[in-house]
Structure 1
Amino acid sequence: MEDSNKPVWQLTIGEFMELLDSRMPKIEEKNISQNSTSIKYVYGLAGLAKLIGCSINHASKLKSCGVFDEAIIQNGRKIIVNSEKAIELFKNYNK
């Protein structure tokens, strides 16, 4: 971009897109490094059901029988599930 002192509201769409594109590689690198070390969570019974590929009702039954106890953080009705731990526990689950 020629004039770095130009106000944002005076940029053309092309200039604005060029500015965004020039910043994208830096943003993507940060996201990749953060995602590789962070724990992934799913939220609620719907998130758990989607994670293991079953109905919400079946996910609720599995949760109630204690399959996911080590992977679940619950406060009242709020449920947060560590997805990696839940998948590991589900693989080791025997009916």
Structure 2
Amino acid sequence: MAISLSNKGVVYGTFGFVFVLGGSVSTAQRIKSSGVIDAAISQNGKVVVIDVERALDILRVSNKKWGRK
């Protein structure tokens, strides 16, 4: 599985997002599934492309805590 951060500022897949966040796979999946960063995600079938700069800006503004409930 390839993790790539291209010079366009996008990553491919949830594992690419994990690489950027420096967290766990489950945390990245939880953030993606919550819908908070939907504006930064484009998905066609199984291919997920995440705009890193936009996603990180959204997460900086978001006050939601990502811990267990």
* 4+ runs deviating over 6 angstroms: none
1:47 corresponds, among 5, 8, 16, to 16
Larger Rg over CA atoms: 1
Which of 75, 78, 90 lines up with 2:47 in the alignment?
78
RMSD: 1.2
Measure how far apart 1:88 and its partner are.
0.3
For residues 76 and 94 of structure 1, the distance between their equivalents in structure 2, rounded to whole angstroms, comes to 30
Cα displacement string for residues 42-75 of structure 1 (whole angstroms, at most 9, x for unaligned residues): 1100111111221111100111111210000011
State the structure with bigger RCO (CA 8 A, min sep 6), 1 or 2: 2
2:43 counterpart letter in structure 1: Q
Q: Distance in 1 between matches of 2:62 and 2:19?
A: 17
Segments of 5+ residues of structure 1 without an aligned counterpart are 1-34
Question: C-alpha separation between the residues in 1 aligned to 2:36 and 2:22?
Answer: 15
Which ranges in structure 2 are unaligned for 5 or more consecutive residues? 1-6, 65-69
Larger proportion of helix: 1
Q: TM-score, normalised by structure 1?
A: 0.56
2:37 to 68, 73, 76: 68
Per the alignment, in what secondary structure is the counterpart of residue 70 of structure 1?
helix
